[in-house]
A = this chain, B = another copy of it.
Amino acid sequence: MAVDATHPASAGEAAAATPGRVTKRRVRTRAKLLDAAFDVFAAKGFGRVSIEEVCEAAGYSRGAFYSNFATLDELFFALYRQRADVIAEQVAGALALDGPDLDVPAAVDRVTEVLLLDLDWLLVKTDFLVHAARDPEIARTLLEHRSRLRGAIAERLGRAQGHTALPAVFGGADGAAHAVIAAYDGVTTQLLLDKDVERARAWLGQLLTALLTEGARTDTGH
């Protein structure tokens, strides 16, 4: 549950004016606040959560919060960055697992395993999407995240083009990567409503193979 955030704050923090010493205690409470915030956000939704609720869940008082963040939005942003980076690494890992050749069905399985694992994360992520949709600054950040991920996928798809020819509808590997992302987002929407992770995985697998292979393959996942 607890994401490892013990490393010093990554560059580009908008927070306090760089205190000379970064105490161990500070890092610990910051991490606890983030973890607690994740649970509370997942349970009630960002819009319905008060600062005090987060603090209570983390076992701190509001003083601790204001010592670490200026506003709930800032915490939310930090939380998203933290978790999203972890996921992105895992996806990159799952994509790199094969040798130079890409076994599409296997890679699809591994990636869906990572992406459709945690319903709570999907909830928080969607909250963040809604948030970003109304704040151009945040939207830019999210778009960059997505673009980086898409780049990794496209690169991987391109490298395997000899083996499994991609459909021509999309202009090359980049278009195909776009399609992969869209399929993932689409499946996510349904998953948020019916909460059936297994079905979502199988369904995403079908969609991806349908999108990524020219001829239809009769490989019903489940």
Contacts and interface: CB of A to CB of B under 8 A. Distances in A.
Contacts of A220: 171
A46 B209 CA distance: 37
Nearest to A210: B169
A218 B129 contact: no
Contact of A211 (B48, B139, B189, B210): B210
Give the interface size bracket for A toward B.
35 or more
A83 interface: no
Given A123-B133, A139-B193, A170-B206, A211 B211 contact: yes
A134 interface: yes
A188 B214 CA distance: 25
Given A167-B216, A220-B171, A44 B186 contact: no
Interface string A89-132: 00000000000000000000000000000000001001101111
Contacts of A216: 167-169, 214
Interface in A121-153: 123, 126-127, 129-134, 139, 142-143, 146
Nearest to A123: B133
Given A169-B218, A171-B220, A133 B192 contact: yes
Contact of A190 (B167, B175, B182): B182
A169 B212 CA distance: 12
A169 B217 contact: yes
A69 interface: no
Most chain B C-beta atoms within 10 Å of own C-beta, residue among A46, A189, A192, A206? A189
25 contacts: A45-B130, A45-B134, A123-B133, A126-B129, A126-B133, A129-B192, A129-B193, A133-B192, A142-B193, A143-B193, A169-B206, A169-B209, A175-B206, A178-B203, A179-B207, A182-B186, A182-B187, A182-B189, A182-B203, A183-B186, A184-B186, A185-B190, A186-B186, A189-B189, A211-B211
Pick the 7 closest A-B CB pairs, nearest first: A47-B47, A182-B186, A186-B186, A185-B189, A185-B186, A133-B192, A169-B210
